[in-house]
Amino acid sequence: MKLEKTKISSYLNSAISVLSREEPFFQAPFHSHPELELVYVKESFGKRIIGNSVANFESGDLVFLGSDIPHVWLNDEIYYHNNKLKAKAIVVYFNKDIFGPAFYELKEAQKINTLFEKAKKGLSITGKTNKLIAKKLEKLVAKQDFEVIIGLFEILSILSATTDFDFINNETYTPTNDSFKKDRLSDVYQYVKENYKKEISLDEVAQIANLTPTSFCRMFKSKTKKNFIEYLNEIRISNACKLLIETDMSVSEIAYECGYKTVSNFNKLFKKNTANTPKEYQNKIAR
């Protein structure tokens, strides 16, 4: 099985992401990424491959993975033929760098450092801690903005103090240099993150992925379940939300800053993505 290396933060445009997933079956390929990952399987069963470990998984499975551990969840064959079954999970991605080097030098952060070292082997969370973290994750899905950071810290604090876990691998996984391929879209995600303010053409991003525009569209849709323009608008609107919260810029200034040529188009797409106008969103946050 060929390993695909990617970056979650670039794709999601966020250093911390909490996702509630519901699919006919888990569709991610065998992959790795620098972000740490916490996965709670709400509903599903099959086999999971994490590093050198192959094991069964079922509803209630909860694992914490360190940076760059290859992994994939493969549903049993019945999931590919029975459209009534669902694969549901809550997944948290975060980049260790968000806390900054000074944080990890604090005496109070030593348990977190130790937790992240353990997570390099992959941790299967068991017992009472499993049930407690599962409840915390259900609540974390509904949180926004700084509450997400507080919720993540709370979960990490619990994990750093518990003994309710098993190592998934006996050793830290070290891939061979030729055992992986780079995700073709990884550079596209990074390019969009850095250039969303300007006009981005389909030809540009297809060239970055070293694909024809038609092949790029097909691959992008297959991997992200959305077309490229939808993704580009999500990134632009996400950054617009940050500007509405963190600055005193006017709506028109934010529209142009985020790559929109007209305020009317910006307002239309903002409401489509957030169910609020920019002003309504700003007023809700200010309450």
| 65-93 average pLDDT score | 88
Task: Give the pLDDT score at 6.
Answer: 65
Mean pLDDT, rounded, for 93-97: 85
CATH match for 184-286 among 1.20.120.1200, 3.90.550.10, 1.10.10.60, 2.60.40.10: 1.10.10.60
Which CATH architecture does the domain made up of 3-167 adopt?
Sandwich (2.60)
Does 3-167 match 184-286 in CATH topology?
Answer: no
pLDDT at 285: 64
pLDDT of residue 10: 56
Q: Identify the pLDDT of residue 198.
A: 92
Task: Band the pLDDT of 105: cuts 50, 70, 90.
Answer: confident
Flag whether pLDDT at 209 surpasses 90: no
Average pLDDT on 134-153 reads: 89
Domain ranges of the chain: 3-167, 184-286
Report the pLDDT value the prediction gives residue 266, as an integer from 0 to 100. 93
pLDDT in tens, 178-196: 445 566 787 888 888 889 9
* CA count, 13 A, side-chain hemisphere, 132: 15
Query: 54: helix, coil or strand?
Result: strand
Distances (CA, A) of 65 to 29, 72, 117, 122, 182: 16, 12, 10, 5, 20
pTM of the model: 0.65
Digit-coded pLDDT (tens) for 39-77: 999 999 999 989 888 899 999 999 999 988 888 888 898
With a pLDDT cut of 90, the percent of the chain lying above it is 40
pLDDT, tens digit (0-9, with 9 covering 90-100), for 227-283: 999 989 988 988 888 888 888 899 999 999 999 999 999 999 999 888 889 988 877
| pLDDT given for residue 220 in this prediction | 87
Query: Which two structure tokens, joined as six digits, stand for 259?
Result: 């790559």
For the chain, state the CA radius of gyration.
20
List phi, psi (to 5°) of 80: -85, -5
- Token pair, residue 260, equals 């929109």
